[in-house]
Structure 1
């Protein structure tokens, strides 16, 4: 009896990616993903990947740069072997419509792989596709995401693959994700060829974090200063006193004061307040949390104290800030 013919890579069908373009999606995260797939096809000399663009209405999807992309179809049925990548961007909560959420829930039952690029991790989480999973999202959306989706283990990685769920932090993280996918399926050599074509000289893994290190961000390489700022960023809801922060890095409170004055031209207390207010502004803009809950989440004991500090820093009240943002979003 003849042996059955073994399937080779040459006759393996191309893997299809279905890109779901939400309203105001970020062009960079989408283009980075598609270009990596296109170059993989070119460098291998075979059609390893195909792709399709879909979205609500099936006509045109507009990115945040104001450029329209002609879609191949509406939110239609997908195949089990498809990989669906939802592309998000500005005001992802508004772009995550009931129809999109219903479609995601229905199609996910087929067992296909689903991913969210940039802010679209929010869309997947809203549909319940990330419950019990590890995930990531653009750093600007991390605070609001953590508050709204406690059942998702949020990381600061540039991308996360947890089973058949994929998320990226946005921007060029799509390239890192695709290089990982290409390497897993067709080897490191092809992935490196794709990276070279993209002039992408530093390939990141899921162990790399998306934001610059604290010394790079503040422009100061002082180990104790970086350590204190890290503690501040990790303790927004329950602020630590300057005296305790100083003890943690084996300094006196006066030495800590001098350190902040010298390198950041402000007191530790002032710097900490600015971090807390920045998080509060993010939550006001990106969630439906009440002002009092935002205040509590950022370490303020009362709404009145929160409002007073917010107005002193941003020259407007939390209520007006939210109202202005909502008006702009509607426009």
Structure 2
């Protein structure tokens, strides 16, 4: 019987990467080695300058510098948290482009896809990223094929949303390479029996979080959530939800405590607040991304809801937690 070749999997860590995201990607591969009794995967930890690289908390990994990395990788993941749009080290981006030219399959974990996109190695590839960064990425890369999924595997590109989503992506990877039996054994090892498929949502639905159960309202909320930058009219929402505009208004006031369009405006402003606090997107771009178009009407609406303007809100409360 021929021996199963060991695959070298690289993890390029960026400053303040999320430890949970990194561990959820690394541990299934370690467990696959342990449970199979074979060296299926060799794990290689990399960073721009090498040495000990601290994560979002005290823990971290000892890494090799990119300039000193030896041997070809069979797959490389970029692990990034915080504000990955700011992680634009030219040397790192050039190294990623070189890996792509050499035919190394590439992946992004949490915000890692932002670096791959900045390096220009995601053209014509479907991919995903942590939900916190989706709107800013779509603003920076309007041609991007971004999907709000747990993970996306498109040919030689592997991306996932971060958090515990790498567990699900690695289950799919191990299944493809070594079969479902080993993948299930790894998932059981981590008591991860509720394996999620790639198309599973990254966030709880708005309807579920609000306790809404009426089918028309569920449909309306789904439509609103997917049309933040291009708001629908009341008539469109009602038609697509399968009820009259009058009935939708009645349901909205009874179960949501606001008219349809007032609730919709609030949902868009909440999204604007989220973008302001968790990204560096300009205020004009935030206005566009949340369907307000011009800065002035956006600022007025934002001030009415939050008691301060967008710029003041950003200065007072901007945080970029590791994802």
- Specify if TM > 0.5: yes
Pairing 1:7-156 to 2, within 5 Å after superposition: 8=2, 11-64=3-56, 66-76=57-67, 77=69, 79-156=71-148
Structure 1 stretches lacking a partner, 5+ long: 1-6
CA offset at residue 279 of structure 1? 2.8
Alignment of 1:174 with 2:173, yes or no, is no
Number of aligned residues: 319
Of residues 229, 232, 236, the one that matches 1:244 is 236
Alignment of 1:255 with 2:251, yes or no, is no
Of residues 142, 149, 152, the one that matches 1:157 is 149
Asked whether the equivalents of residues 80 and 111 of structure 1 are also in contact (C-alpha less than 8 Å), the reply is no
Q: Measure the CA separation in 2 of the matches of 1:215 and 1:301.
A: 27
Query: What TM-score results when the alignment is normalised by the length of structure 2?
Result: 0.90
CA offset at residue 142 of structure 1? 1.1
Structure 2 stretches lacking a partner, 5+ long: none
CA offset at residue 162 of structure 1? 1.2
Q: Measure the CA separation in 1 of the matches of 2:27 and 2:127.
A: 24
Specify the alignment match of 1:4 in structure 2. Answer: none
1:31-84 deviation per Cα after TM superposition (whole angstroms, max 9, x unaligned) = 0111101111111111111102111221222222x2242423112346444311
Compare 234-243 and 81-90 and name the one that shifted more.
Answer: 234-243
Please tell me the root mean square deviation across aligned C-alpha atoms, in Å.
2.2
Compare 293-302 and 140-149 and name the one that shifted more.
Answer: 293-302
Asked whether the equivalents of residues 84 and 113 of structure 1 are also in contact (C-alpha less than 8 Å), the reply is yes
CA offset at residue 286 of structure 1? 5.2
Change (3 A) 1:176 1:301: closer
Of residues 198, 204, 212, the one that matches 2:204 is 212
Asked whether the equivalents of residues 214 and 230 of structure 1 are also in contact (C-alpha less than 8 Å), the reply is yes
